Amino acid sequence: MDEPPELQDNPHWRTAVWALRVGYLALAVAIVGVILVVTGSTPWVLAAGVVLWLAMAAVTLTGAFRARSQLPEPRPGLWPIRFMLINDMVHARSAPARS
């Protein structure tokens, strides 16, 4: 993956990656909620999962677009940004050193 090194130090990018991780967890909660609703249980788990998933989608998009806008020209396109997000979500990296 040809990822710009500036992204790893960008706080917006890190926020987008973590929001994507939490979004997948929220999607799993929503799926469990669908199963619970089908079995006759309360729809609150489904509602919580969907609301959290929508919130994390907004945070992911905002963070990714803000990080992309801070990159020098030429910026990667939208598809490469998506693949970089997924790659960074799966491959955990250490936190940047703070001085």
> What does the DSSP assignment read for 18-48?
HHHHHHHHHHHHHHHHHHHHHTT--THHHHH
Q: How many structural domains does the chain have?
A: 1
> What does the pLDDT read at residue 19?
95
Residue 99 included in any domain? no
**Mean pLDDT for the stretch of residues 4-9:** 81
Q: Can you count the helices (H) and strands (E) in the chain?
A: 3, 0
Residue 4 included in any domain? no
**Mean pLDDT for the stretch of residues 66-90:** 88
Q: How many other CB atoms are found less than 10 A from the CB of residue 70? A: 14
Q: What is the pTM of this model?
A: 0.82
Full domain range(s) for residue 65: 9-90
**Which one-letter DSSP state was computed for residue 69?**
H
Cα–Cα distance, 17 to 88 (Å, whole number): 7
pLDDT of 3 higher than 80: no
Residue 28 included in any domain? yes
